[in-house]
Every structure is written in structure tokens, then in C-alpha cells.
């Protein structure tokens, strides 16, 4: 029975993880959020964790009062997140916060030798080499939650030698604006960007799916998780989101993982691996499945993807700059302060103005991230 600390339990991934935990009879021993006090209180009353954390100090003070009739400890701020990441009762930490705020807690959980069920892709984009090196040093398991990376992970089970892998094939839904031109996208509205055809997710990743930055971040995530060079990763647009990704081996056998677009499956697998248990997720009926289609990505219209593929090939802090700039630009777009195409423009400007550091330390990475955000906010 797993005992899970969920960083970001009130979000899209966090809420689905709690459904899995409940159905599988697992324990949630720590729950964290930013400022969703009422929902976190409700989750705490249902799951009775040891620790509840709100990173907002005021919200935490309110939660402490609301939970005063229980024995649940309430903490706040980054200190609280770090406490949840290393909590003794937890054997697994699900990183489901959004953004690179997840970096320090992920590193702390690795050093505490927890299993990391990793949803928070920004951490791997920003500091993937450091995170993977620490995981190897401390012997911490990193099991992906992102559906594409879970699919790759599943297709790599039993593979004894990475040299036998010819390439990883990442599928992309194309998002709500697939087929549009740059002219069409000049006026793209926030509400349209937030309408994903296949997945219901948090606002930031939904915008990343509309710009296709999400697929660029996932490309970098796959490079880091599976230690693959960029030339061995291919992106294929597959509108139906039924095949979640594929691995091609040197003998040209291609293994794929299929399923309904339902995040509860990869969340569950990250918790039960190397075993499998009965499903919480919806079943795929192949006889009612739409025809499966495949096409090339459009990096001309979706420039965020081109920028990410370029940063992926650059050493040092380039990916940290890409990620920090994107987080800042998406924040401005969500506040309707900039237009849809401005996201790529701002990221590009940050990539060309913020100097990169080769062989960066954690401090260099955090400095690159801060400089990238500053470049976006001030341009």
C-alpha cells in the first residue's frame, strides 16, 4: 500500500490522483496547495493526511483555524512544501504543482529517496540534468505521470539495453488551434485557447497545448528521463489522443501504448509500477474508436515548438530560460495582457537576451529562470 504525499492536490492532476488513491486503498499522507483553502480543507477531512500545506501564508493561517478540531498539522510557504516532500510517512511524492516552484521540493524528495511520481514537467525542463543525476546518486525512482512519458516508460519495460532503442515517438494532439494559420491566431482569444479538444487540464498546461510549447517541453522531458539525444526523438501529430506515444526498436518493431485520454491511468501506473492493478480509468473500445491519423508538426505556425526544439539542442541553462520565459509569458496571456502570438515573441526575446551558462549549478539555473522572467515582464 503506497503512502503518497501530493504536491498540488487541488489541481487537475492532484484531484484525479486522490480518486486513484481512494479507489486503490492507498494513503494520502500530505496534501498541498497554493491558496485553495476550502477544497484543501474538504480533502483533508476526507483523506486525513498527517500534513496539510498552503504556500500562501494567509490561506494557511485560515486553514489552521478551520482544521483546529483535527490532529492534521498545517504548514505554509516553501518550507511547508519541503516538509511534505520529505515527510517520513510518505514512500512516494507526486509532484503535481504547476511551474518550476516544484524544483526544490523534487530535489528534496529525491535526497530523501522517495519514489517520485513526476507530473511537474517544468522541473525536468528547467533542471533535468541535475535532477536525473541526483536521482541516480540517491537511488530514487522517477516514474513519469505525463501521459506520453508514461506510454514511453511502459513501452520500455523489459528493454535491457538503451542501445536497442532506435527512437522515441511522442504523439501530440495538436491542441485547439491545429490547422489554423498565423493570421487566424493573431486574434486568438483566451477562452478559445482554454478549450482543449481531448483533455481537461489546468490553465497553464492548456495554454501550452494551444501554443504547442507543451510538446516542446515534453520533448526535453523525454530527453532527460530517457537520456536520449534530440535526433532520436520524433514528434507526430495524432489528433485522436488514443496512442499516447511509441518506442521504435532497432529491428523496426514499434511498441505503442493505447488508452482513452484519461490521466488517471498514468497516475495509477506511476503509483503501482512495476505492478498493475484494476483500472480507475475509462476502458478503450477499439471497435468504437475513431480512425487513427498521423501527421507532421507545424513549427512555422506554432513557433513555441520550434523555440523549444532549438533550446533542447543548446547546452546549459537554455532550457531553464525557455521554461521561465514561457511561464511568465503564459501568465501574462492568462491575465489578457498580451496576445496569443506574443507568447512566442516574448520567449524568443528572452532566449536571445539572457546569457546562458554551461554546466550550471542549481543557483545558475534559478538565476537563469529569474532573468528569463524579468526579460518577459520588462519587454
Q: Which is nearer to ligand NDP, 97 or 365 (CB)?
A: 97
Total chain residues near Mg ion (CB under 5 A): 3
Per CB under 6 A, the segment of 199-207, 221-229, 291-299, 352-360 that binds ligand NDP is 199-207
Rule CB under 6 A: is residue 5 a binding residue for ligand NDP? Answer: no
Residue 133: half-sphere exposure toward Cβ, Cα within 13 Å = 8
Q: Which member of 146, 208, 327, 364 binds Mg ion (CB under 5 A)?
A: 146
Query: In angstroms, rounded to a whole number, what is the distance separating the alpha carbons of residues 295 and 58?
Result: 49
Residue 15 CB, shortest distance to ligand NDP, in Å, is: 8
Residue 190 CB, shortest distance to ligand NDP, in Å, is: 15
Total chain residues near ligand NDP (CB under 6 A): 27
237-259: b (≥16 Cβ within 10 Å) or e: bbbbbbbbbbbbeeeeeebbbeb
Rule CB under 6 A: is residue 101 a binding residue for ligand NDP? Answer: yes
Check if the beta carbon of residue 49 is closer than 8 Å to that of residue 19.
no
39-98 residues near ligand NDP, rule: CB under 6 A = 55, 96-98
Distances (CA, A) of 224 to 9, 110, 125, 128, 241: 25, 16, 8, 6, 23
Rule CB under 6 A: is residue 10 a binding residue for ligand NDP? Answer: yes
The C-alpha angle with vertex 8 and arms to 31 and 316, in degrees rounded to 5, equals: 130
Residue 99 CB, shortest distance to ligand NDP, in Å, is: 6
Which residues lie across from 258 on neighbouring strands? 243
Residue 120 CB, shortest distance to ligand NDP, in Å, is: 4
Rule CB under 5 A: is residue 348 a binding residue for Mg ion? Answer: no
Query: In angstroms, rounded to a whole number, what is the distance separating the alpha carbons of residues 310 and 322?
Result: 10
Write out the residues near ligand NDP by the rule CB under 6 A. 8-14, 33-36, 55, 96-98, 101, 119-122, 146, 199, 201-202, 204-205, 263
Amino acid at each position: 500500500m503506497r503512502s503518497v504525499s501530493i504536491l498540488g492536490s487541488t489541481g487537475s492532476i492532484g484531484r484525479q490522483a486522490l480518486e486513484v488513491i481512494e479507489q486503490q486503498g492507498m494513503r494520502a499522507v500530505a496534501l498541498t496547495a497554493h491558496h485553495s483553502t476550502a477544497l484543501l480543507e474538504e480533502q483533508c477531512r476526507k483523506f486525513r493526511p498527517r500534513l496539510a500545506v498552503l504556500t500562501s501564508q494567509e490561506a494557511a493561517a485560515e486553514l489552521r483555524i478551520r482544521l483546529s478540531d483535527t490532529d492534521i498539522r498545517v504548514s505554509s510557504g516553501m518550507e511547508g512544501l519541503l516538509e511534505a516532500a520529505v515527510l517520513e510517512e510518505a514512500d512516494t511524492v507526486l509532484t503535481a504543482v504547476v511551474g518550476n516552484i516544484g524544483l526544490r521540493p523534487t530535489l528534496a524528495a529525491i535526497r530523501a529517496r522517495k519514489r517520485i511520481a513526476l507530473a511537474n514537467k517544468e522541473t525536468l525542463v528547467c533542471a533535468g540534468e541535475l535532477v536525473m543525476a541526483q536521482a541516480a546518486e540517491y537511488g530514487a525512482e522517477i516514474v513519469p505521470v505525463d501521459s506520453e512519458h508514461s506510454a514511453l516508460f511502459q513501452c520500455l519495460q523489459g528493454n535491457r539495453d538503451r542501445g536497442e532503442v532506435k527512437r522515441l515517438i511522442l504523439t501530440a494532439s495538436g491542441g485547439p488551434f491545429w490547422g489554423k494559420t498565423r493570421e487566424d491566431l493573431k486574434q486568438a482569444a483566451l477562452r478559445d485557447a482554454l478549450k482543449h479538444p481531448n483533455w481537461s487540464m489546468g490553465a497553464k498546461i492548456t495554454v501550452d497545448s494551444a501554443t504547442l510549447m507543451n510538446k516542446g517541453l515534453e520533448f526535453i522531458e523525454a530527453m532527460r528521463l530517457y537520456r536520449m539525444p534530440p535526433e532520436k526523438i520524433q514528434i507526430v501529430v495524432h489528433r485522436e489522443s488514443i496512442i499516447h506515444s511509441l518506442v521504435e526498436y532497432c529491428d523496426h518493431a514499434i511498441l505503442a501504448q493505447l488508452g482513452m485520454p484519461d490521466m488517471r491511468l498514468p497516475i495509477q501506473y506511476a503509483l503501482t509500477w512495476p505492478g498493475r492493478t484494476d483500472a480507475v480509468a475509462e476502458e478503450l473500445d477499439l471497435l468504437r474508436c475513431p480512425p487513427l491519423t498521423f501527421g507532421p508538426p507545424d513549427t512555422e505556425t506554432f513557433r513555441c515548438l520550434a523555440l523549444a526544439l532549438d533550446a533542447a539542442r543548446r547546452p546549459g541553462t537554455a532550457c531553464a530560460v525557455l521554461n521561465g520565459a514561457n511561464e511568465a509569458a503564459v501568465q501574462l496571456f492568462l491575465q489578457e495582457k498580451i496576445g496569443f502570438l506574443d507568447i512566442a515573441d516574448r520567449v524568443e526575446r528572452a532566449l536571445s537576451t539572457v546569457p546562458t551558462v554551461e554546466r550550471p549549478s542549481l543557483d545558475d539555473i534559478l538565476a537563469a529562470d529569474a532573468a528569463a522572467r524579468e526579460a518577459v515582464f520588462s519587454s
